[in-house]
Amino acid sequence: MKFYPATVSQQAIPLPLYDDRVPAGFPSPAADYIDKPIDLNELLIAHPAATYFVRVAGDSMVGIGIFDGSLLLVDSSIRPKHNDIIIACLGGEFTVKRYVTHPRTRLLAENPAYPPIELHEGEDLETFGVVKFVINEAR
């Protein structure tokens, strides 16, 4: 994994936000006007000092749209809870996995080719944040 700090620009870069949502089902005619500009820093980064990006290597999370090369926006100020996607360090190795606490604590891949990682009492799991957003190239 490659880690990158999230730098928040002091100067807003307004991008157009169209008022209508894009249908994912049967298409309907869209309104052709822009509602208001949107600031991605404001939308994506709640805690700038605790936010970073990390690039994914591998295919263990493809079932939820996290692919080899995906860029993850991670907030390290959030305490992980059941079912969160987290960045963790286990045995000196970084990984991105689903954090499950019920019925027992485990890290789950989202690819059936990878077995769950069972966490046992006294095992050193260090969390480095909760994945808030996944950025993939669509083309």
Domain residue limits at 89? 47-135
Identify whether the C-beta of residue 95 lies closer than 8 Å to the C-beta of residue 57. Answer: no
pLDDT of 38 reads: 76
Q: Can you tell me the mean pLDDT for 44-69?
A: 94
Whole-model pTM?
0.79
Number of domains the chain is built from: 1
pLDDT of 87 reads: 96
Q: What is the CA radius of gyration of the chain?
A: 18
Q: What CATH number is given to the structural domain containing 97?
A: 2.10.109.10
Within-domain flag for 113: yes
Kindly state the greatest CA–CA separation across the chain: 58
pLDDT of 22 reads: 64
Active-site amino acid positions: 60, 97
Q: Can you tell me the mean pLDDT for 19-35?
A: 61
In angstroms, what CA-CA distances link 86 with 25, 37, 38, 122, 136?
Answer: 31, 31, 27, 20, 17
β-pair type (85-90, 125-135): antiparallel
